[in-house]
Amino acid sequence: MSNISDTIVPKIGSEAPTPATIMARLNDGWDDLSPQLKKAAGFILDNPNDVGVSSIREISAAADVSPNTLVRLAKSVGFEGYEELRGPFKEQLRGGDLGFTDRARWLQKVSQDGQLGPLYADIIHAAIDNIESTFSRIDVDTLTTAADVIWRSRQVFTLGVGIHHANAQHFTYLASTGMVDFHAIPRPGATATDDLTWAGPEDVLLAVTTAPYREEVVTATRLAKKQGVTVVAISDRATSPITRIADHAFSVVDDTPQFFPSSVATITLLETLLSFVIARADEKIVDRVAAFHERRRELGIYWDD
């Protein structure tokens, strides 16, 4: 009597395979797999993140099966070999769909495998794609409206924590070269909610957070909204907790092969928004910018040969 067939699992059709479809095929055909293939399939089902970062030898050792068993398993779901099965799992990591830890592990494997050249290209392409995708969904009128609100306000609070704290600082620093009453929060020794204590209807809060959303940003934004502050939100989804309550909202794309979200599109959007503010401001802004830089020259802040 022959062994149970190694190719009884339904094969993947013409659509591009994903980790989810591969695991669904393994689940659907589980009962008909041979014992060794079940060991291999079980490991993949229980540890899908390992597939994208580990070689066939590492996976076979961890699953306690031979590399050839993994090859046979791959063929059973319609692939020519294990590397073809592994491909969608690697792409998922490259696309940034998994957690920070898994993406960091993938970067380590890329280096160990001597594949930094493709990683270099992936990061550049992701940065360009992020900017294109972000601005394809933002029109000039929306930016102009937000810029006018910022220019007419009494104070502007830019709120970001974690990676977005630097982005908020960047926006505030540039704005302060020609305008007053721009504040990056939270300030040292305070919380964002402290900094917004006396903010009101004449003020603007520019809040930035992307998944995983920071609790202090969401809480401060909700508080500001209750106080009548105009909220301009920059986030990554229409369902973001700050987007849903904002008066003016912009969505950024932050995909990256890196283990942390990309800030390229966020910084570009902030710089564009500030450019619109300057463009919509009255003529005194030009004199302010000139005075700011002239003062720096007088104080010797700029290097002069």
User: Are 227 and 196 within 8 A, CB to CB?
Assistant: yes
Count of beta carbons in the 10 Å neighbourhood of residue 2? 4
pLDDT single digits (tens) 69-88: 999 998 888 888 888 888 88
CATH for 130-298 is 3.40.50.10490
Residue 217 has pLDDT above 80, yes or no: yes
| Per-residue model confidence as pLDDT tens digits over 142-179 | 999 999 999 999 999 999 999 999 999 999 999 988 88
What confidence tier does 53 reach under pLDDT thresholds 50, 70, 90?
A: low
d(CA 132, CA 262): 14
Q: Are 46 and 100 in contact (CB under 8 A)?
A: no
* CATH 1.10.10.10 residue spans of the chain: 19-98
Q: Residue 183 has which token pair?
A: 């504040």
Task: Inform me whether the pLDDT recorded for 92 exceeds 60.
Answer: yes
Among the listed ranges 62-66, 102-106, 158-162, 228-232, which one has the minimum average pLDDT value? 102-106
Q: Give backbone dihedrals phi and psi of 133, rounded to 5 degrees, phi first.
A: -65, -40
pLDDT band per the 50, 70, 90 thresholds, residue 224 = very high
Residue 4 pLDDT exceeds 60: no
pLDDT digits (tens, 9 = 90+) for 181-204: 999 999 999 999 999 999 999 999
Whole-number pLDDT of residue 111: 54
Band of residue 256 on the pLDDT scale cut at 50, 70, 90: confident
What pLDDT score was predicted for residue 302? 86
Q: Where in the chain is the domain with CATH 3.40.50.10490?
A: 130-298
The pLDDT, as a whole number, for residue 184 is: 96
Asked whether the beta carbons of 158 and 182 are under 8 A apart, the reply is yes
* Residue among 82, 127, 122, 125 nearest 106 (CA): 122
CB 56 within 8 A of CB 82: yes
User: What is the CATH architecture assignment of 19-98?
Assistant: Orthogonal Bundle (1.10)
Residue 50: name the closest of 19, 26, 73, 7 by CA: 19
pLDDT at 113 (0 to 100): 61
pLDDT band at 123; cut points 50, 70, 90:
confident
Q: What φ, ψ does residue 181 adopt, rounded to 5°? A: 65, 40
- Whether the CB-CB separation of 54 and 109 falls below 8 Å is answered with yes
Residue 109 has a pLDDT of 63
Decide if pLDDT at 244 tops 50: yes
* pTM summary value: 0.64
